[in-house]
A and B are shown apart, each in its own frame.
Chain A
Amino acid sequence: SQKIEQNSEALNIQEGKTATLTCNYTNYSPAYLQWYRQDPGRGPVFLLLIRENEKEKRKERLKVTFDTTLKQSLFHITASQPADSATYLCALSRGNSGYSTLTFGKGTMLLVSP
């Protein structure tokens, strides 16, 4: 069956370091993968989308990689700040082309301490 795995344990890092979060999947051939941020009591907020033919995408301090051979995406936040503390969700398209619904991982909580 299709499965998305994100580290269920919280990731604790110090301000200024790079945070790296992992999203692994099985039995998918997604056309694209997305990352969202969710703060307590709020809805998820879209951060980045990466397509199956892209290896890497950047946006300000954020970087996403997508390895379709390893079936893995890595999400990096460089020069992390306490304000980056949140839960980060990865989501995969169910279809392998064009528009489709998403399947979300359960998320990894990131805690950045000053």
Chain B
Amino acid sequence: NAGVTQTPKFQVLKTGQSMTLQCAQDMNHNSMYWYRQDPGMGLRLIYYSASEGTTDKGEVPNGYNVSRLNKREFSLRLESAAPSQTSVYFCASVGRIYEQYFGPGTRLTVT
């Protein structure tokens, strides 16, 4: 079992560029999440998908879109990147007792 995988591991974008962060899980979990983690701010929820076919906004959704492609995959898209989106992005899936399994993260820098 690979658990939760994320690509890419690192990315540098210029302001205004777009990109998609990919996430996949092989644990047959229904729910998947996207967080961002900034120094001094902790983990903040961007979007989540409680089940295949549904997505909902979290605490900080502005500037992002998501797609739950199938049960395994949940992608996060930045349409027009801004320096304020420089962060570490984590994807997670939710287990049977509501525990969350996190991916290794994507470190994004927007210049």
Residues of A within 8 A of B (CB): 32, 34, 36, 41-46, 49, 89, 91, 93, 99, 101-107
Contact = CB atoms under 8 A, between A and B. Distances in A.
A9 to B, nearest CB: 13
B2 interface: no
Interface of B: 4, 31, 33, 40-45, 48, 50, 58, 90, 92, 94-95, 97-105
Contacts of B58: 101
Contact of B98 (A32, A89, A103): A32
A89 B7 CA distance: 24
Contact of A101 (B48, B95, B102): B48
Contact of A43 (B42, B45, B95, B102): B102
Nearest to B101: A46
A16 to B, nearest CB: 29
12 contacts: A34-B98, A34-B100, A36-B100, A42-B104, A46-B101, A49-B98, A89-B43, A91-B100, A101-B45, A101-B58, A104-B44, A105-B42
B27 to A, nearest CB: 12
A49 B31 contact: no
Given A42-B105, A91-B100, 13 more contacts: A34-B98, A34-B99, A36-B100, A43-B4, A43-B103, A43-B104, A46-B99, A99-B31, A99-B94, A101-B33, A104-B44, A106-B40, A106-B42
